[in-house]
Amino acid sequence: MKVLLIYFVTIFLSNTVGALSGMGGGVIIKPALDFLGYHSLNTIAFYSSVAVFTMAISSTYKQYQNGLQIQWKKAAGISAGSLIGGMIGDLLLNQALAAASDQSQVQVMQYSIMLVTLVLVLIYNRFSHWQFHFRRMFVFVSVGLFLGILSTFLGIGGGPINVACLIFFFGMNIKSATVYSIITIFFSQLAKLGTIGFSTGFDSFDLTMLWAIIPAALLGGYVGGLLSKKISEQHVAQIYSLVVFFVIVLNAYNLWMIVHASF
């Protein structure tokens, strides 16, 4: 019961912020659950995927209710790429876990990649206004593919990376980027969960945890989508930068603890 409550609170808060800022929650959930240390790396990746997938459904529905217009051709291209990328990313993660003598080696790889990308995202968000305005379907699919692979391999949903890439490649404002980011998250995590379901199945996971994870994710996604309507684009950008900085600190701490424990 204690673990269920801790997971509920962690996922609710993470997904509220994730839905509001377009991060999807996984970028907070993954390092937070690693920090708590109740489950294995593979199990945490599964729980994170379920949480951000559920949040994506709830948040997209609320954003659509808010009246935000979605360009479905653009969304379809990004989603198709992220669906394929999600399957590739899950395959790469499983191969890395099978090849490593200890899961901490994979964690070091994940945190190293995450730290580099998040620092680049923070620098871009704070100091650069350079944008492209690509409109070709090939670019939408390619960006979605890259984001799907990266987010699923890292087990984070990919939110802050998604938002930065969508702004950079397509010249979106941050509120539009958050919505397309969450659509991308939905399809990449659908691919991951589908791959697990059709390969190993879900029997190896403690599914009782989903009684806390799914309601917390639904509620967090809905509340985040509700708050998004009430605050300005400038405040969304500020929350985005603040959360990226917080996640960088948390990832750096987790990486230091893993490396320290290895020596």
* Chain centroid offset of residue 151 CA: 6
Question: Residue 5: pLDDT above 90?
Answer: yes
Mean pLDDT of 107-115: 89
On the CB side of 145, CA atoms within 13 Å amount to: 8
Nearest 10 degrees: Cα torsion 61, 62, 65, 69? -70
Residues 6 or more apart whose Cβ sits within 8 Å of residue 159: 18, 21, 22, 23, 24, 25, 26, 27, 151, 181, 182, 185
225-255 burial string, b = 16+ CB within 10 Å, else e? bbbbeeeeeeebbebbbebbeebbebbbebb
Task: Name the amino acid, one letter, at 74.
Answer: K
The residues near 171 (Cβ < 8 Å, ≥ 6 apart) are 131, 132, 133
Provide the whole-model pTM. 0.81
Query: pLDDT tens digit string along 34-91?
Result: 888 889 888 988 998 898 888 778 777 766 676 667 787 888 899 899 889 989 988 9
Asked whether 161 and 151 are in contact (CB, 8 A), the reply is: yes
pLDDT of residue 211: 93
Average pLDDT, the chain: 84
**Confidence tier at 200 by pLDDT (50, 70, 90):** confident
Amino acid at site 100: A
Residue position matching structure tokens 């701490």: 253
